[in-house]
Amino acid sequence: MKKLLLLSLLVLAACTSTESKDITLLDSSLSSILSADAKIEYLTDKDYVVSEGPVWSVKNNGLLFTDVDNNKMFLWQEGKGVSVYMDPSGYTGYAPTFENGENGANGVMLYNGQLVLCQHGDRRLAYVAGMEGTTPLFRTLVDSYEGKRFNSPNDLVASRIGDIYFTDPPYGLYNKETRSFDEELYRELPFQGVYRYSASGELTLISKEMTRPNGIALSLDESYLYVNNSDRNNPVMMRYNIKNDWAGEVFFDGTEWSNKHEGGFDGMKVHSSGNIFTTAPNGLLVLSPTGELRGTINFGGPVTNCAFGPEEKYLYVTTFGRVARIKLQP
């Protein structure tokens, strides 16, 4: 009888488990968004060097993403696979930098139907004014702070009124020949900034204290700005109070997570529930609007960025080499 009871308890525990190989739910409230049975589905076979900047294009009915290393943008479509969408994406010779560096576009967004890019090589925020085949015509939005060129704008997000928030770490100033950041050759700013470029054209420095500001997102009510620090020596997500003179505080400290797993805190997106899906060591973390860890998506290694598809049916994820998706709850 005791053996039968023990067997029954084991079966019950297995049936009610909230952990699988791909998904771990730490808070039952997350089950309305992400199923513990969801699986990571890889969409591309080709290994890209640094796939980044995923954004869903309604016009193309597919996912746009970049390869920072190869200076191109690609389009994935269901049933059609991947095609080159834009070449080049982030380096045209507009700004001085390493020609063999990480020069392609990184963060990308569609705002009012307009494609806006963080260009590592050209060291600016630019928008696509036209396309001839796969060849784009870029126009500069902003490329400098107080007369000094940006390092290499990395990721961005727009508010409902048209303000663009973006980060400016030095990743584009990486010299692949020496395999190091030879920043002194081209760098003009002595810090890594977080900025707001307002709809009226005014540039504001929000912070210059972060060592590697990277992924960036706005809270649902746009009161707060979240920024990931992709520095393994200080792997934190900062939160800045937009309505209180940019007062900053550590929103999530990922030190313990970073010590256990490979990878860093990179891109992020905010779900309509207010939960934050952020890339992190080993995959992605799902944080509550108050900073509690609610779940994980376990890639077993580093990933770079993420984006929601139409109606948030899928979460699309770029890794360093491939593109994947996870089906979300309807």
Averages of pLDDT over each 10 residues, the chain, 330 residues: 35 39 95 96 88 97 96 97 97 94 95 96 98 98 98 98 97 88 88 97 98 98 98 97 96 96 96 98 97 97 97 96 95
Report the pLDDT value the prediction gives residue 330, as an integer from 0 to 100. Answer: 83
Report the pLDDT value the prediction gives residue 181, as an integer from 0 to 100. Answer: 80
Residue 246 CA: distances (Å) to CA of 11, 105, 155, 215: 51, 27, 18, 17
Report the pLDDT value the prediction gives residue 202, as an integer from 0 to 100. Answer: 98
Report the pLDDT value the prediction gives residue 14, as an integer from 0 to 100. Answer: 37
Residues 28 and 294: beta-carbon distance below 8 Å: no
Task: Give the count of beta carbons closer than 10 Å to the beta carbon of residue 141.
Answer: 18
C-alpha–C-alpha distance, residues 82 and 45, integer Å:
10
User: Among 3.40.50.10490, 3.20.20.10, 2.120.10.30, 2.170.120.20, what is the CATH number of 20-327?
Assistant: 2.120.10.30
Report the pLDDT value the prediction gives residue 230, as an integer from 0 to 100. Answer: 97
User: What torsion, rounded to 10 degrees, do the Cα atoms 196, 248, 151, 269 define?
Assistant: -70
Report the pLDDT value the prediction gives residue 184, as an integer from 0 to 100. Answer: 80
User: What torsion, rounded to 10 degrees, do the Cα atoms 173, 129, 159, 166 define?
Assistant: 10
